[in-house]
Amino acid sequence: MEARRITVLTAGLGVPSSSRLLADQLAAAAQSSLSAAGIAATVEVVELREHAVEIANNFVTGFAAPRLAEMIARVEASDGVIAVSPVFSASYSGLFKSFIDILAPGSLEGKAVLLGATAGTDRHQMVLDFAMRPLFTYLRARIAATAVFAGPQDWGNGGDGGSPLSRRVARAAAEFAGLLQSTEPGRKPSPPESLPFEQMLAGISAGH
């Protein structure tokens, strides 16, 4: 059976946090979708709050402490990432962005990514499309078309798959699983070829 490695990044601050709850649902649904396709998936959850001091020190010193360096290596070696952040001041959390900032350039290029966010009001759900998606697009990740937002009304409605949140989770996870299936385990897809400007211009001229 084929296998894929998924790293779950959650920037929730509480114990438990709604971000972790959403991340767990997304991970379980992704595993289920992959299993149905005959692909096993191992999932590792990273609580960024547990590395907050090390992340801050990395900015000051320019070096990652051994525990943080090991965690970063696991993220970079994974086939896919599920990234969930709480919303603060109409954007992803500072802790979430700080971790993304310490990753080496190109670390997430070509990697399958599933996005999620949580907040205390539905007014923040556009953070997914206006903050998180542009960030990971800039990093050249392959992002699942459906991102999942969970507000206060989404919790406590049962987990039988019939709630609106469960349906969104299932759809997003299926799309994420599709991205993972299209890439060989442990390998990034080859980036598109970048041609010199003169060659591109010659091609355009030839087309006319």
| pLDDT recorded at residue 189 | 44
Taking a C-beta distance cutoff of 8 angstroms, is the pair 144, 114 a contact? yes
Q: Would you state the pLDDT for residue 16?
A: 86
Task: Convert the pLDDT of each residue in 131-178 to its tens digit.
Answer: 999 999 999 999 999 999 999 889 876 555 679 999 999 999 999 999
pLDDT of residue 172: 98
- Which CATH homologous superfamily contains domain 2-207? Flavodoxin domain (3.40.50.360)
Contact 76, 105 (CB under 8 A): no
Phi and psi dihedrals of 40, rounded to 5? -80, 150
- pTM listed for this prediction: 0.86
β-bridge mates for residue 29, sequence order: none
- Mean pLDDT for 98-115 is 96
Q: pLDDT (tens digit, 9 = 90+) per residue, 122-132? A: 889 999 999 99
pLDDT level of residue 191 (50, 70, 90 thresholds): very low
E strand spans, the chain: 2-10, 39-47, 80-88, 91-92, 112-118, 142-143, 148-150
Summarised one tens digit per residue, pLDDT across range 21-59 is: 999 999 999 999 999 999 999 999 999 999 999 999 999
113 contacts 146 by C-beta, under 8 angstroms: no
